[in-house]
Chains A and B, each alone.
Chain A
């Protein structure tokens, strides 16, 4: 089943390119560490999901590019075409000549309705190319102008027009010390709108990705391209093919559907994060070997201590002792910074996957009281290695990891709102104070729900 990607704004388009590139490169990686037949099945599965076939044999990404400025989309299109390995469709791009000045309201209330028909037509054309549509990826920033406002509008439209299809928004959480003054306003408006119309919000934090580049990849001058490549690697390690429940003879047909069913069925808990291990530069990779036990131990501690990478993990953090009443758990959590999970999905790729022991993730102490580990924890596997890593593990988690950052943003936004700073930029284009209040209410509820696990 296929996934159609909608790349929105500068952020969305740059990331989108890296994602497709990573998926293609991995699926054609010669060091798959599995049989030829299995490798071909893996390739075919990846191809069906993310690419469609063009006449001259060059795969075309199942994507629609949208931006209000032409610069980035043109760059993206040409970069892909130049590689000669895959490309975007000739008519899959929609762009205008004017920007939106980081104005969420302009993106939502003006750009959106004005270009609704063109954009939805493009998406419809892409959908028609699919034999079966599993759902949509919508890649966008949370705090920028075009991507965020227009993205919220487009997601709402997708909800109306394709109500049965799944929608996962890949949203870029801005740097804590971002440059846009109104980024907190944009963030809360984006989040609240997406919470209503999307099925899952897969959050990628710029700060975390930046750290990974610095500490693990040893990159000196970190560019957006580097950050996006780390992100693409994480997404690929989740959505590349894995075995279905019937066993290793078939690949999973609908990973998006399976993921959502396992992680975000509750309407109040839609925020997901990715961790993966190992993550390192190619040079270091050649000299490293890993065991599943070691990888999983680190991954588990990354989850518990809310660490974004395998370096600098706080090993002091422990899950609370079982048998304590729930109230006791909650207060302990806040004290020890323990990250409680609602549900987790671990994806293992590589050699000897079947020998990996996942007992550590089935500990009920990791999870909230109203969900048993048997319902809260799932694992996907494949023997086929991912992107030159002999063994790699990824964790998609619905947990408290965004609680603090979200709380911070809402707090800051509220402070600004209380003094009505910059509100006129929004009311000018139809976003009233009531809309702000609705957003605050919704997000406070989300914060409270995650807090009271």
Chain B
């Protein structure tokens, strides 16, 4: 995964574009890929809400200047964002080609703006953008470099494959072993399959834009649409938290308390296929029956797991240094048996720490990202953009309410560690299994009632159909 350093290195010319974009949200003459218009000073100074930002804008006048970081405080008297033919055809990025090379040698040399800024200048939106995006990228699985994000906003085709892959990784279920995912994992399917799955997953989540569904299957285009889709996913729910939760290293033995979040963000649906020719209903019955047996076998396996967990918890009582836990989990017991596994666990924990730190950076600075996203999409995008903004606002409000309500709300979702206590033990944090069982039983009753109603409705429908054809004899299958 590309780290922030490289991203920062490639940001030199990007900053200039950022300046321009921040200038006027909804600016109607903004056109991607057509070369940027040189802003005049009045416009730059008058950009709403960004005057102070502009003062700090880092623009260097001289093309090819490498030490961007050192000279970044100079105001952009004249933006040198005119046309400049560059090899890859991207518009007007001065001396940008030097920066990745410079960054590879020494990120500081290329101007790691985030670090500079933290040294004492007021944190500001513009300079913080590459840092924010880099943090976002590190938190996401298969996160591309900030440069890709920038190109995507210009709808550059070369950014499309990386974004398809990012969306694929975000939308499909992650491996259960918690190992950090690598983009080059052999299990990831071909680009076309990823495109297909991303489209169907977004559709099933209610993504409103048809333009995305119409993008070519070879994954060669549409980076801007994909960026918008990513923003939509980020805005409408706690996406990063969910992803981090899925891949976190699990030390304890856990059970999930409430599955609704996992269900809501279930992986992409398999693509619908038309059957070749008529399908024999017996084949369908066979498949249904197989599925039922697999369910029952799964339940039996889970019961076995519970029984064995109970044994391990009993046998290791008194072995845990944390008195409130009291006994070891399976993972902890394995650590005793296998030192090599312990080393791997340490590595995974360190990787996870890095991800979490990046997530914190992102959280501090994500408004920068949203402001960047807010501008320059043109009138047809504003509806989606507004919806995203509203969603972000709602999310923040919900968070605040949750914090006000305290622990109770937080406890009803997500996995919980299993801890075995003596029957007489009282007090201590956490939910009692007995209470939880009670809750689950009442939910079960509700669901059974719903099932009963649905079955009655089916029955009535069948009776009506049977009545409609008097010559037809209905023989019911044996059993339930």
Contact = CB atoms under 8 A, between A and B. Distances in A.
A287 to B, nearest CB: 43
Interface in A142-176: 164-166
Nearest to B284: A370
B478 A369 contact: no
B346 to A, nearest CB: 27
Contact of B479 (A133, A197, A445): A197
A164 B293 contact: no
Nearest to A260: B293
Given A1-B304, A254-B297, A268-B477, 11 more contacts: A132-B307, A166-B293, A195-B479, A257-B296, A258-B297, A260-B293, A265-B293, A266-B282, A266-B285, A267-B285, A375-B286
Nearest to B293: A261
Contacts of B304: 1, 131-132
A261 B308 contact: no
Nearest to B282: A370
B296 A164 contact: yes
Contacts, number: 77
B423 to A, nearest CB: 18
B300 A267 contact: no
A368 to B, nearest CB: 8
15 contacts: A131-B304, A131-B307, A132-B301, A132-B303, A132-B307, A166-B293, A260-B293, A265-B287, A265-B288, A265-B290, A265-B292, A266-B285, A266-B286, A268-B478, A371-B283
Interface in A13-28: none
B132 to A, nearest CB: 45
Nearest to A268: B477
Interface string B456-480: 0000000000000000000101110
Contact of A254 (B288, B300, B478, B479): B300
Interface of A: 1, 131-135, 164-166, 192, 195-197, 199, 253-254, 257-258, 260-261, 264-268, 369-371, 375, 441-442, 445
A134 B303 CA distance: 10
A132 B300 contact: yes
B289 interface: yes
B285 A196 contact: no
Contacts of B33: none
Nearest to A192: B478
B296 A166 contact: yes
Contacts of B477: 267-268
Contacts of A258: 297
A441 B475 contact: yes
A266 B475 CA distance: 16
State the main secondary structure of chain B at its contact with A: helix
B479 A267 contact: yes
B294 interface: yes
B220 to A, nearest CB: 36
A1 B297 CA distance: 11
A131 B314 CA distance: 14
Given A261-B290, A266-B282, A266-B289, A165 B300 contact: yes
Contacts of B307: 131-132
A199 B301 CA distance: 18
Nearest to A131: B307
A415 to B, nearest CB: 22
B280 A133 contact: no
A445 B475 contact: yes
A376 to B, nearest CB: 9
A399 B282 CA distance: 15
B402 interface: no
A26 to B, nearest CB: 24
Contact of A164 (B285, B287, B299): B299
B300 A265 contact: no
A75 to B, nearest CB: 34
A261 to B, nearest CB: 4
A1 B283 contact: no
Nearest to A259: B293
A197 B479 CA distance: 6
B290 A195 contact: no
A257 B297 contact: yes
Which 10 pairs from chain A and chain B are nearest by CB?
Answer: A265-B289, A132-B304, A370-B280, A257-B297, A261-B293, A265-B290, A370-B283, A131-B307, A196-B478, A196-B479
A97 to B, nearest CB: 35
Contacts of B308: 131-132
A349 B411 CA distance: 52
Contacts of B296: 164-166, 257
A369 B286 contact: no
A264 B286 CA distance: 8
A313 to B, nearest CB: 30
Contacts of B475: 441, 445
Contacts of B282: 266, 370
Nearest to A132: B304
B294 A133 contact: no
A36 B272 CA distance: 51
A267 B293 contact: no
B283 A267 contact: no
A46 to B, nearest CB: 17
B300 A133 contact: yes
A376 B307 CA distance: 34
A165 B298 CA distance: 11
A101 B299 CA distance: 41
A134 B300 contact: yes
B301 to A, nearest CB: 7
Contacts of B299: 164
Given A164-B296, A257-B296, A265-B290, A369 B479 contact: no
